[in-house]
Each structure stands twice: as C-alpha cells, then as structure tokens.
Amino acid sequence: MTAVTLFTLAITTTTLLYFKPELRGLTQRMTRRDLVSILQFLVLTFIILPILPNQNYGPYGAFNPYHVWMMVVLISGLSLAGYIALNWTGHRYGPVLLGFLGGLVSSTATTLAYARLGKNNENMQHLSAAVILIASQVVLLRLLVISTLLSPALLSSLLLPMGAGLVLGVATTLLGWKRLRSSADLPKPDSSNPTEIPAALGFALVRSVLDECELLLLAVDPAWRGRGVGEALLRDSLRTARRRGITSMNLEVRASNNAVYLYEKTGFEYVHRRPGYYRGNDGQLYDALSFRIDMLA
C-alpha cells in the first residue's frame, strides 16, 4: 500500500471509531428496507457504473452507456435522499433539505422524481410541489453565483432577470410552504423501493441506414397509454429523423395492434401485409402490417 492509502485508511478508521455511538444510534433507527435501498444504490453506483464503457455508440455517437447510467444513478440517489430526509428529518423540514440538495445536484432530476411522487400519491402533491419549487430557486442562485465568479461583468445583466425570477419564485414557494405546514397530518411517500429504476413514460427505438430509417419499437408505460405519450414520441422521432436528413421511415406492426390508428393519424401509409410475421406468447403466428411515411412530401 502507498502512504496515501495508509493515511486514508487511518483517518477513516479513526473517524468511524470516534462516531461509534452516533453510528450505533443510526443503525438502530434503520429498517431492513433502508439497508436494502442503500445497498442497491451502492451497487448501481460503485459496481455497475465503473464497468460501463465511457464512449459513444451508434449513429452520430448518440448513445453513451456511462452517461445514461450516470443519470440512473443521479435519479436513484435523489429518490434515496428523499426517502432518508422524509423519514429521518421529518416531514416538516424534509422538503427544505430535499429542495436544497436537489437544486445543487440537478433540478431536472429532482422535478422528475417528485413529479412522479405527486402523480402516484395525491396526498403528497403539496410536499412534491414544495421540493420542486425550492430546487428551482436554488438552481437560480447557483447559476447567479457561478456566472458572477466566472465573469463578474455579467452580474449587472443577470441581476434583473434572475432577481425577478427569484422574487416570484420565493413568493410562490412561501405560499406553498404555508399550505404544507397547515396540513395536520402529512403522510409518508408510498414507494415500493427508494432506488427504483423505472422512470421513463416510454421510449422509441429507431434504426437508420443512409437516408432511410425503421421504427423498431415504440413502447409506453401501461399507466400512461391513451394520454398522447406514444404520439409525442412518434412525432419527436420523425422530427429528429428529418433533422438528420432522413427521407423516409418504415415500420411493421401487428395487424390487431391499436397503434395502427396512431400511425395512420401521423401520416404513415399502408404498404402491404406480411403473413405470419409475429409469433405470439401463445405460439401462434400473427400477420403484420407494413407502413411507410415519406418525409419529403
């Protein structure tokens, strides 16, 4: 071992021994679920993340496994931090801590995590709104400080718009905080796992060759079907393809799939039927319908 490693181990050991009573009290307050959640987050962060390649793949280098998993770790970490803050610091002061930390780390990820919490539990909507509002104000302060440190001359230009945003944001936050504090009984978040990974409403997978592309998969969370998520994904895929010089998009869909109406609605034209193209879970073969859209039309 190097001298630095030995020195680090010595400091760590001394720190753990010094705070032994506090750590013992902390572990007594932790449940099995707490330990499992922390261990899952450690696996996501220190086992899976380091082995992922940090390089770009696919057309235009659009996919980087390391960056994608980093976002998974970030959102999972915020969910875990929320669970700990609300259970260990209390519901009255937990939102302040959550909003502050979320604004420092990522206001976008914080908004995503707590918007989902408010959607899944109506009783948590005021708390989620308070966390998101506080995080939004923190990120404004962070941007103002960083901009001033890097280029002090920008302060005069940024002070008015960011100051106005802060004043309005703080006023809205205080109003939401007053409503939150007036609640007689604030429930705890009902989540199956603080480090849960599923967060996407849906996704589209497209493959391109030269000036043509194929929609391989369009999937939407069952809880969000029928709310326009699939159409938004499809239209965004078409816009992205056009920006990259793609002239046409093709796809196949099972003849009995309700998505047929979505494709026709967005301008896809029927080409032909492909008998026995899909094999279902029951072992039977099902016909597929081929569709195509010309983006130059």
Are the C-beta atoms of 222 and 235 separated by less than 8 Å?
no
CA distance 117 to 124: 7
Are the C-beta atoms of 36 and 8 separated by less than 8 Å?
no
Question: Is residue 80 exposed (0-12), middle (13-18) or buried (19+ Cβ within 10 Å)?
Answer: buried
Our answer to whether residue 252 is catalytic in this structure is yes
CA distance 79 to 191: 10
Q: Which residue out of 66, 252, 278, 286 is catalytically annotated?
A: 252
Are the C-beta atoms of 266 and 234 separated by less than 8 Å?
yes
Residues counted in the chain = 297
Rg of the chain, C-alpha, whole Å: 25
Our answer to whether residue 263 is catalytic in this structure is yes
143 to each of 30, 151, 228, how far by Cα in Å? 36, 12, 34
DSSP letter at 4 equals H
Residue 201 DSSP SS3: coil
Residue 193 DSSP SS3: coil
Which residues, including other chains, have CB under 8 Å from residue 18's CB and lie 6 or more apart? none
CA distance 121 to 244: 40
Residue 215 DSSP SS3: strand
Catalytic residues, by residue number, are: 252, 263
